[in-house]
Amino acid sequence: MSQPQRITLALTGASGMPYGLRLLECLLQAKVQVYLLYSQAAQIVIKQEIGETWPSRAKEVEAMLHTRYGLANGLLQVFGREEWFAPVASGSNPADAMVICPCTMGTLAAVAAGMSDNLIERAADVSIKEGKKLIVVPRETPYSALHLENMLKLARLGVCILPPNPGFYHHPQSVEALVDFVVARILDQLAVPHNLMKRWGDVT
């Protein structure tokens, strides 16, 4: 896979929001155009885990993030769950890849069942039907048989199931290092260059 020009990033209401927001930051630093989707539950988790209160309107979130990261116009677009005229809602204008991070088991089940009841589910459905890269970062433990069956169903469709399981062989000294380990694996799947950590066997 060549480096994508446009990526859809969906934030859902699972724990693990530091992964999603760090991924967003890294994608924007790499000058990748991002379509950001988020659920109402994601706003609650952001408040709980990050300590931030995001506005209820998507365009207000977009303005806030543009200011935070000093973005050029058009690099980041934010859409609400019912914005059916968003580019990602149609197979005629899909992003090059999509990541759901973190992904709830409810979203996972809906995607596995082909549901399109909101923009996140529809964008995932479009990614699958158009043969685009879809990465799901499921945050739950333990997994039930139902969870595993849904993941297997998606894996057989070519979806990348990437649980946020950090390694420890690089001797992480902070929570941020653990987050970066997982984000690095996601960026590798997207073919987006990064310098988040040394690679195995790299002695330089």
Please tell me the predicted confidence (pLDDT) of residue 203: 58
- DSSP class of residue 28 equals H
- Binding positions for FMN are 13-15, 39, 104-107, 139
Domains observed in the chain = 6-190 (3.40.50.1950)
**Dihedral sign, CA of 143, 97, 8, 113?**
negative
- Binding positions are 13-15, 39, 104-107, 139, 169, 185
Please tell me the predicted confidence (pLDDT) of residue 198: 82
Please tell me the predicted confidence (pLDDT) of residue 73: 83
Q: Are the CB atoms for 30 and 76 separated by under 8 Å?
A: no
Half-sphere exposure of 56 (CA within 13 A, CB side): 0
Q: Are the CB atoms for 114 and 107 separated by under 8 Å?
A: no
- Binding positions for dimethylallyl phosphate are 169, 185
Q: Tens of pLDDT along the chain (204 residues)? A: 677 799 999 999 999 999 999 999 999 999 999 999 999 999 999 999 999 999 989 999 999 999 999 998 889 999 998 999 999 999 999 999 999 999 999 999 999 999 999 999 999 999 999 999 999 999 999 999 999 999 999 999 999 999 999 999 889 999 999 999 999 999 999 999 999 988 888 755
Please tell me the predicted confidence (pLDDT) of residue 127: 97
